[in-house]
Structure formats: C-alpha cells, structure tokens
Amino acid sequence: MNFPLFIAKTINNNSDTTRKVSKPAIRIATAGVAIGLAVMILSVSIVLGFKHSIRNKVIGFGSHITVADFAALQSTEQYPIEITDSFCTAIKKVKGVKHVQRFANTQGILKTEDDFLGVMLKGVGPEFDTTFIHQSMVEGAIPNFSDKKSQQKILISKTIADKLKLKLGQKLFAYFVNDQGVRTRKFTIAGIYETNLKQFDSQICFTDLYTANKLNGWQPSQCSGAELTVDDFNRLDFTALNVLKKVKGTQDHYGSTYSAATVTELNPQIFSWLDLMDLNVWIILALMVSVAGVTMISGLLIIILERTQMIGLMKALGAKNRQIRHIFLWFSTFIIGKGLIIGNVLGLGLILLQRYTGLVSIDPKIYYVDTVPVEINLPLILALNLATLLICLFVLIAPSYLISHIHPAKSMQYE
C-alpha cells in the first residue's frame, strides 16, 4: 500500500467543517487552477482559429505554392509562362501536391456612369477549385469558367460592389491598357463574394481564363502561372522544395524560366503578423501558469500550517519528512486535478458555445472575420493540462520542505 497516497486520500475526503482557514484556501487554489487553464485553452483556441481563418483566406485567393516565371515572382509585372496539360500532370505527381490549376492576371478599370475603380482581373479555367469562393458568396452563383471561350461574366467582391454601387446581374464596362492599346469588355455581374480580407476584396475580380489570356495578348497555352494546393500545410516547405527541384531552371518554348514560391514568401507581411500572435499566447500562458502556481503555493502553506499537529504526530510515530512531503504533494495533485477538470469544462464549453452560435461578434473591417474564430486542438489541450499539472507540482516542491522544520515536541505541546 502506498502510505502517502492513502493518507492524502483520507485528508482529501475528510469533510471536517471546523477547519475554517484551509477550506477557503483549497477553493481559491482550485479556482486559480481552473480559471488559469480555462483562459489558456481559450487563448490558444482563439489564436489558432484566427491564424488559420486568415491563412485559409489568403490561400483561397491563391494557393499554397505558385509556379510562374522567375521574373514575375520577383516583381509586380506580368510575364507569361507556358502551362500545358503534360506540365500539370507532371506537377501533380510531385509528392504532397493535391491540386493544380492555371490562372492569368490582368489589370484593368471597372467603369460605371458615376465612378471607376482599378482592379486585378483574375482569369481561371475549368479546373479552378471553387470551394473557398463558394463559401464566401453573398449573392449570385459562380459561373462555369472556361479556357476555350468567353462568357463575359465576372465575380466581384461586395467591397467593389458597394464602391461602384453595383448590383447582381448588372452590366458594366471594363477597360484594359497594355502593349496592344486600350481594350474594352462588357461584363455581366454573375455573383458577389465577401471574405472581409480588405487587401484582396478591394482588388480582385474573377472571370474565365480565356478572357484574361486574350486581354493580355498571350498564346492559348500561356498564362500567369499554376497554383498548387498541398495535402499538408505543415509540410509546405518540403513540398515546395520538391516542386522547385522539378521546375527550377527549366524554360518553356517562349524562353520563360520556371520558378516556384510559397504563399508565405509571396505574402510575408501577413504571415509575419500572424506569427507575432504566438508571442501573445506565450505571455498569456506564462501569466496564467504563474497565477495557478502562486495560488497553489499559498494554499499548500495554509494547509501545512493548519495540519502542523498532524505532521508532528506522524513524525512522532516514525513517519519520515519525505513521506509527509509526498502526502501533501499527493493532496495538492487532487486539488490541481479538480481544478483541471473544472477548467476544461469551462474552457471547452465556452469554445463550443462560440463555435456553434457565434455569440461573440467582432468588427470584420479590423479583424477580417465577423465572429471570434475558435479551433479545438485536442493534443494541444492535453499538453496544456499536463504542463499545468507538472509545473504546479514542481513549484510546490520547495514549500513542501517546510515540513522538515516542524518539530514533533513543539507541534504537539498544546494538544
């Protein structure tokens, strides 16, 4: 039988109401652990949800990896590159690549009777993955984009629609200026989307690949590049390296040089900003663990002082200091465990409430999302529980050594 564990269970199950000091101390210690863990779970879940929401929106406008002309990846200028069916098939065989789609960008001006606005027209083909745009649609529908003929249809953002006072189904003129001169196209608004990512919503419109290609004056096999989706974002750099090895230094029939870049390389400001959030999480975790540790130390000291006579009696009966320390560490484990259970119920409960109801809303113009995003990461939550338990027990080791200073004769002289 484990003697320290048995005594600790006995003390923990004791409902002695005469101890007016230790009971509140235990409740405060339990509450400190519970609140600390709940705040840590909420913080981690919200930051993960926010980071992944913004990341998915940035990827939704492009891809995980972009294969394009080397010069185009280094500047804002448009340089065409040949993307054939055989090239797409070869890229799909690269380990980690999930999907490949072509695109062609061209800059233009949308013009109404009262106003005009410069935009980036993105042409996409029939292989375009519409999942992200479909989730962001406000009105209308996504047309069947083609690389063989023009449907003269366009998808615009709600931001652009509000600025130009446009409505679904309305026709408008677009003007494009390049080496071929000024070209005019008349589009019909097929749909309106909204992602709340202002940097993209204020610029990007979608149309078919054929139209964008013709406006640029490129050959049918040419486009701005290919967008690649990967199976696992955590292995993005590894997959990008394999893609780069496949295409680096290769030239097409028109002399353009292939190269590749990841979404983090093409949007460094956004991803650097998202990485800064990790620092905030570490600060919150440190503060909450400190609060839990301090409350546990205070509670243990009060419990030891109130159990001085019991400690003296056990010493007189032959119990060693190490055994008594283990008794109170086991007792602290029960308190911490109860706090962890309450903290998990509280933290996960609030996360699930927010996830399924969107109870807490925020300004999308500032935070790019309209409700607080949350994400449940069970391995990370388990790691937080284990770390909280171990750290709290570790900081209790030093206070438990006070037991060695308790003398049996002095502690029991007023018994």
72-76, 268-272, 364-368, 402-406: least confident range: 402-406
Tens of pLDDT, residue by residue over 222-259, are 999 999 999 999 899 999 999 999 888 788 888 889 99
20-24, 94-98, 294-298: least confident range: 20-24
Residue 196 has pLDDT above 50, yes or no: yes
Instruction: Calculate the alpha carbon distances from 84 to 124, 150, 248, 319 in Å.
Output: 14, 20, 17, 82
Q: Residue 179: how many CB atoms within 10 A of its CB?
A: 6
Q: pTM of the full predicted structure?
A: 0.81
In contact, 250 and 257? CB cutoff 8 Å? yes
Instruction: Calculate the alpha carbon distances from 349 to 41, 204, 356 in Å.
Output: 11, 39, 11
134-163 burial: b if 16+ Cβ within 10 Å, else e: eebeeebebbebbbeebbebbbbbbbbbeb
Tokens describing residue 141: 């529908």
pLDDT band at 411 (very low <50, low <70, confident <90, very high): low
Count of positions (residues) in the chain = 415
Q: Considering only CA atoms, which of 25, 2, 23 is closest in space to residue 298?
A: 25
Q: What pLDDT, on a 0 to 100 scale, did the predictor assign at position 382?
A: 95
Tens of pLDDT, residue by residue over 34-74, are 999 999 999 999 999 998 898 999 998 889 999 999 988 88
Q: Using CA atoms in the order 55, 58, 60, 62, what is the torsion angle rounded to 10 degrees?
A: -130
CA 161, CA 200: separation in Å to the nearest integer? 14
Tokens describing residue 253: 């029939």
* Residue owning tokens 């063989």: 148
In contact, 330 and 398? CB cutoff 8 Å? no
Q: Residue 337: how many CB atoms within 10 A of its CB?
A: 15
| Average pLDDT over every residue of 183-189 | 91
In contact, 155 and 200? CB cutoff 8 Å? no
pLDDT band at 22 (very low <50, low <70, confident <90, very high): low
Residue 410 has pLDDT above 70, yes or no: no
Tens of pLDDT, residue by residue over 379-391, are 999 999 999 999 8
CA 375, CA 49: separation in Å to the nearest integer? 5
Q: What one-character-per-residue DSSP string does 57-116 give? A: HHHHHS-SEEEEEHHHHHSSS---EE--HHHHHHHHTSTTEEEEEEEEEEEEEEE-SS-E
Q: What value, to the nearest 5°, has the Cα angle with vertex 12 and ends 11 and 15?
A: 85
Q: At what angle do helices 22-61 and 378-400 cross, to 10 degrees?
A: 150
Residue 292 has pLDDT above 70, yes or no: yes
Residue 20 has pLDDT above 80, yes or no: no
Residue 308 has pLDDT above 80, yes or no: no
